[in-house]
Amino acid sequence: MPGVEIVTVQDKRSWKQFVELPYQLYRGHPYWVPPLRMAQKELLDTTRHPFYAHASIQCFLALSGGHIRGRVAAIVDHKFNEFHNEQAGSFGFFECANDVEVARALMQEARNWLRKRGAAVIRGPFNPSTNYECGLLIEGFDSSPNIMMPYNPPSYARMLEAVGLRKGKDLLAYWSTPHDVTDSKVDRVAGRAASLQGVNIRPIRMKQFGDEVEMIWKLYNASWARNWGFVPMTREEFLHEAAEMKQILKPDLVLIGEVNGRPVGFAFALPNVNLALKHAGGRLFPFGLFKILYHQRLIRELRVVALGVVEEYRTAGVAAGFYAELIRGARRLGYGHSEMSWILEDNVLMNRSLEAMGAKKYKTYRIYEWN
């Protein structure tokens, strides 16, 4: 068995190898969705992506037998540490052949890099934080991931646990169908929510998109501040993500809740464009764009991506009311199946509300910790 060599990603060739590895590992996989290469390069571009204005990252590759066998990124999010008054590091973008020794060598290198920068605890995977793709899939391997959700084989959990990582927190994904989540159940939950707090829910005003996004950004940071693992998004990060989502969002699926004109909550869902991306193979050209545009017209699934209510109005009824309004809006637009993700495993009230509407837990993602 050849040894494992860890290489620091620092030149054009190694960056290309880092980006390309998943496309090699998952070639022909029935459920993996190839992300667009240009989007992956942008997300890792420390000179252009706004995340790196407050974070440091170092990427590593593992070589064995002359072949690239794995990759990982070590990340220090200075804004997270400042917000939580903690010395933490994280790992992300983990991909690995089914070989515990390769995984061990990668994780040890990331751990050493993070410890040299003061990290007392390491969490992940974050790609690159909880505001983006995060978590390791541990249940629900028999279907493709929804938009902005990760996918990995079952071997990843086994390898990371063999290295010494342990559970930090589980994130749940729920699935709803018109059969399971009936109109009567949705109406009952929505009606109860409206009577509880008198929150008026309206769609985003696209003609004032910039102002509306600024409002949602403030609501997002205010309403999620006490959530486990949360790190506030900078204005630049939020506007960057909103500009990308604008291309695919449906105004009736981006909702703002108000009480006497004062914004108190938000929720939004996006069409599951992974169903179209899957046909492009990670490239827009020469034919990927046409494939995406063709298959995008056929999408009838969506994902509820985020929901937040300021603490003063944070009751199970209000949050569930947002979900109910999204489901009703989705059905008006012809969307039948919905994923609601991710929900913290210990968010008991929200989990119970989704189950009361008939949604079923179908995937579980895990955030690991390592000292």
| Best CA proximity match to 184, nearest among 365, 327, 336 | 327
Domains 4-164 and 175-366 in one fold: yes
Confidence (pLDDT) at 239: 97
Tell me the C-alpha distance between 23 and 278, whole Å.
Answer: 12
Q: What confidence score (pLDDT) does residue 190 get?
A: 62
Region of 53 on the Ramachandran plot (φ > 0 left; ψ -120 to 50 alpha; else beta): alpha
The token pair at 68 is 């690239």
Q: CB under 8 Å to 305, separation ≥6 — which residues?
A: 147, 148, 268, 269, 270
Which portions of the chain are predicted below pLDDT 70?
Answer: 1, 183, 185-187, 189-197, 315-317
Regarding beta strands 337-344 and 166-176, do their DSSP bridges make them parallel or antiparallel, or are they unpaired?
A: antiparallel
The domain segmentation of the chain, as residue ranges, is: 4-164, 175-366
Per-residue confidence (pLDDT) for residue 184, from 0 to 100: 72
For 184, other C-beta atoms within 10 Å of its C-beta total 9
Looking at residue 1, what is its pLDDT?
47
Preceding amide of 175 cis, omega within 30? no
* Cα–Cα distance measured from residue 251 to residue 139, given in angstroms and rounded to the nearest whole number: 32
What's the pLDDT score for residue 294? 82
Give the CATH architecture of domain 4-164.
Answer: 3-Layer(aba) Sandwich (3.40)
CATH annotation of 175-366: 3.40.630.30
**Digit-coded pLDDT (tens) for 225-276:** 888 999 999 999 999 999 999 999 999 999 999 988 999 999 999 999 999 9
Name the residue among 172, 173, 166, 136 with its Cα closest to residue 151.
136
Per DSSP, the residues of 75-106 read EEEHHHHHHHT--EEEEEEEEE-S-HHHHHHH
Across the strands, what pairs with 338? 176, 302
Among candidate residues 248, 242, 227, the one with its CA nearest the CA of residue 344 = 227
Which amino acid, 2? P
pLDDT, residue 191, reads: 64
